[in-house]
Amino acid sequence: SQTDDERALSDSSTEASAVPSHPLWPDIERITLEQLTFAQQGVGEGWEIFEQDGEMKLYKREKEVNGLVQDTLKAVHVVKGVTGFEMANCFFQPEYRFGWETTLEEMKIIEKVSDDAILFHQIHKRVWPASQRDAVFWSHIRQIPDSENPDGEPIWVVCNKSLAKDHPAAPDKKGKYTRAFLTAVIVCQTIITKHPNDEDELSRAEVTCKISYCSHVDPGGWVPAAATRAVYKREYPKFLRKFTSYVIDECQDKPVRT
């Protein structure tokens, strides 16, 4: 069954939707497209693989600024039986988040910018050796035609980006939490492995989803470089496994949605 949010989202792709007049909109628009381009680039020079499990591959690109880790992660995965829309939608819609996000203590919607953009405040569990983190970020989902194959399956992208400044609805509680700054993007595309007849509904056996996830974390505060790297080396693969198995379970007995 579709929620109202999901209905609004799928309707919005068939209607000419107005450009939201929100002050964050120009940033949301620009950064989402930049992150999409970044996620679509290959992993050539500068990237180092640090984990592989079947189709799941995780790469890192190390960088330090004044002794603080500013590494970037890129992960690619291929997941059978789910679509790009289903993956992206589960990543974006708040009602699914506690089902897969294992590092979360609290999630609050600060503002709905539009049907496809939400401003969140999240308090993360103290899985990290240092103090507890919180974050204020916008999240935006959109569908983009595949420029290399305009008649093929569209690309679904969700971009999450921390606000650079404090937000009045979620002031920085220094001392209680350390504010972390993240940029994350997930790019999903359905591969249809067998083309069905017109009358046939697409079955789960005929769809596969190609995923690319990139993330850049600035943990905020001072954390030794080795600690940050040890945490993300453990947490990113955990997140990808948990998230993909959650989406598979969530969609299993439901009709395929592209």
Residue 235: helix, strand or coil by DSSP?
helix
101 binds ligand 16H (CB under 6 A): yes
Q: Which two tokens stand for residue 192?
A: 């249809």
Residues in a beta bridge with 218: 181
Q: Which of 137, 155, 170, 216 binds ligand 16H (CB under 6 A)?
A: 137
Please identify, using beta-carbon distances, which residue of 107 and 202 lies nearer to ligand 16H. Answer: 107
Which stretch in 36-44, 130-138, 188-196, 244-252 sits in contact with ligand 16H by CB under 6 A?
Answer: 130-138
DSSP 14: T
Total of chain residues touching ligand 16H, rule CB under 6 A: 24
Q: Per CB under 6 A, which of residues 140..169 are in contact with ligand 16H?
A: 160, 162
**Kind and range of the H or E run holding 143:** strand 133-144
Under 8 Å between Cβ of 118 and 96: no
Q: Which two tokens stand for residue 33?
A: 């497209």
Q: Which two tokens stand for residue 127?
A: 């899985």
Got the DSSP string for 36-63?
HHHHHS---TT-EEEEEETTEEEEEE--
CB of 126 to ligand 16H, least distance (A): 10
Q: Are strands 155-162 and 207-218 parallel, antiparallel or unpaired?
A: unpaired
Please identify, using beta-carbon distances, which residue of 35 and 160 lies nearer to ligand 16H. Answer: 160
Under 8 Å between Cβ of 138 and 163: yes
Q: Which of 56, 110, 130, 191 binds ligand 16H (CB under 6 A)?
A: 130
Q: Which two tokens stand for residue 45?
A: 């020079």
Under 8 Å between Cβ of 158 and 31: no
Q: Which of 231, 247, 251, 256 binds ligand 16H (CB under 6 A)?
A: 231
110 binds ligand 16H (CB under 6 A): no
Give me the 60-99 binding string for ligand 16H, x by CB under 6 A, dash otherwise: -------------------------------------x--
Q: Per CB under 6 A, which of residues 184..223 are in contact with ligand 16H?
A: 184, 217, 219, 223
Scanning the chain, the segments in alpha helix (DSSP H) are 4-12, 25-40, 84-92, 94-100, 225-251
CB of 25 to ligand 16H, least distance (A): 18
Q: Which of 228, 244, 247, 251 binds ligand 16H (CB under 6 A)?
A: 228
Please identify, using beta-carbon distances, which residue of 135 and 155 lies nearer to ligand 16H. Answer: 135
Locate tokens 């359905």: which residue? Answer: 190
Binding residues (CB under 6 A) for ligand 16H: these are 97, 101, 103-104, 122, 128-130, 135, 137, 160, 162, 182, 184, 217, 219, 223, 227-228, 231-232, 235-236, 239
